[in-house]
Amino acid sequence: MINQLSMVNDDSSTYHFVLGMVKDKDVDKVLSILPKNAHYYFSNAHIPRALHHNELKEKATLHGLKGNSFNDVNEAITTAKTIARVGDVIVVCGSVFLVGEVKY
């Protein structure tokens, strides 16, 4: 995924990842391949399988990823859109359950 994203991003752009995952996946493996120089907005879907956004942020910190956590994916997206500059790339990913809660 990162290689494909680099084709749409130039050196002056920044990635903004709105990220949420479920507990029963290999979270550490995914976190280990994400770029450390991106901005992260950790969130969670509102289902029992979801990894809580605070726990995801703690795990991400161990992998050198920095960002804030949000209980609502739409709030995370709004914040990313506020911080992102023209030409930056915002990616909502991780869990299809998280993406399913996006309202816009």
Can you give the CATH number for the domain in which 57 is found?
3.90.190.20
Give 42's strand partners. Answer: 19, 69
| Domain annotation covers residue 85 | yes
> Band of the pLDDT at 3, cuts 50, 70, 90?
low
User: In total, how many domains does the chain have?
Assistant: 1
In a domain, 55, yes or no: yes
Rounded to a whole number of angstroms, the distance between the first and last alpha carbons of the chain is: 23
As given in the structure block, the two tokens for residue 13 are 């752009």
Q: Which domain holds residue 9?
A: 2-99
Please indicate, yes or no, if residue 104 is contained in any of the structural domains.
Answer: no
pLDDT (tens digit per residue) in 11-51: 678 999 999 999 999 999 999 999 999 999 999 999 999 99
d(CA 4, CA 100): 23
What are the angstrom distances between the C-alpha of 102 and each of 41, 64, 65?
14, 27, 23
Scanning 1-104, the segments in alpha helix (DSSP H) are 2-6, 27-33, 53-62, 73-83, 96-99
Residue 9 forms part of a structural domain: yes
94: left (phi over 0), alpha (psi -120 to 50) or beta: left
